[in-house]
Amino acid sequence: MILFAPAPTGSGHNMRVLSIGRALRNYNPDLEMKVALASLQDVFTPMFESSGIEVIDVAGQLMDYSKKSNLSRQLDWGSYIAGYISNTFLSSERMLAYLAIIEEHKPRVVISDFNMAACLAAIFSRTPFVFVTERYDFTLCQLTDQDLSEGGFELNAEDLKRARTALHKQFSWMIEQSQLVLTDKPYIPEMDNGTPVASALMDGKAHFVGPMIRDFTQTNASTVRADLGLGDGPFIVASISGTTMFAESKQNLLNAYLEAFEQLRSVRPELKMVLLGRQDIAPREGLVSVPYYPDWMGLLREASLLVSAPGWITVTEIAALHIPTLFVLPSKSEYHEAEALDRLARLGFPTYLGCEATAIAGLIDAELDKDTDAPSYFGAHQRVAAPDGLGAQRAASRILSLTH
């Protein structure tokens, strides 16, 4: 039996292990799989169950980290380590819960998607584990105090120095104890040298497999335009969902998207926008607002452009599908995605930091005018897609080799 343990901080971790589970099912239809699900259970329980993966609700209550702020502006040991890291990533209570689950279900291998508590439980129980990660180290270790100051944080520099030392040591030890490390994030030397995952890549324990996403090769006739009343004209998708550090960042980004769309409509009256992640928007011409759309990949294929936060599962999906995308981060206060935005810019994607509506409208306008048939247009996408987008299948193959 294989036990999946995605981190409880966002939909991307759940989706990644679901994709690996589906790929494993294709290799071995009789394989027994279970998932210790800790967030967004209402959305993901039916998705896992329909894939033949038994769900264990490890949280005992519905958890959704996208509906509230997760940090304070004061960054010191108490607010960051005790108030955030210890509750979300290194919870002793959660580690003991995973340990109890492991002892009860006796998996051959634990597959942790950035779930530190599950890794610790696997180590304590001497159960082999695979670490799936979109990060090369704890996020704090790949950001400087200057980055955090630019995000509006008030820093206790000595506390953060101690925090980085401790977190890096824990991450390194965990990588050393793992049997296999799989990542969907391309290595960039100037960003990643000295990190635990970079070291594991060099010694052969870690592997860059590319996008670990749902099967995107099966295409059905699209019903997106009919479902959403979009007609035959061009439309963009703007997404504001996902885990946030500060609720006001999400609100500021929403306001910027709405104003930018109004500006674009003055020069592109035929343009429409699908706004994902909200349902409480007053009706306006050309705007379709939905909290969730199930055929995400079908929606992307029909859109002229996606405007999105740099959540890495989204990055890997648009890379595999070759979707024109503008990545926007409202502020460095959303520190968990600042590193990703920097990486995307270095890879060659269009990016923007801020909430200035006129600037966002200008960037969208420029992207809509670009020739997507040009040979070089999807160069950055190819570097992430590695190059075919079939990372879940490669991950599943390596996991099966480990378990046999």
Query: pLDDT tens-digit profile of 341-366?
Result: 999 999 999 999 999 999 999 999 99
Q: Is the pLDDT of residue 218 over 80?
A: no
- Rounded distance, CA 16 to CA 35, Å? 12
- Measured CA distances, 204 to 114, 127, 177, 207 (Å): 19, 21, 14, 7
Chain-centre distance of CA 110, in angstroms?
20
- Find out whether the peptide bond into 387 is cis, omega within 30 degrees of 0: yes
- Rounded distance, CA 319 to CA 390, Å? 11
Report which DSSP code applies to 78: I
3-state SS, residue 378: coil
pLDDT in tens, 46-98: 999 999 999 998 877 655 554 444 567 899 999 999 999 998 899 999 999 99
- Rounded distance, CA 381 to CA 292, Å? 25
Q: Nearest-CA neighbor of 128 among 149, 150, 107, 97? A: 107
The pLDDT confidence band at residue 242, using thresholds 50, 70 and 90, is low
The pLDDT confidence band at residue 33, using thresholds 50, 70 and 90, is very high
- The model's pTM is 0.91
Give all domains of the chain, ordered by start, each with its CATH number: 2-214+389-403 (3.40.50.2000), 224-385 (3.40.50.2000)
Question: Which class for 326: exposed (0-12), middle (13-18), buried (19 or more C-beta within 10 A)?
Answer: buried
- Rounded distance, CA 129 to CA 403, Å? 10
The pLDDT confidence band at residue 243, using thresholds 50, 70 and 90, is low
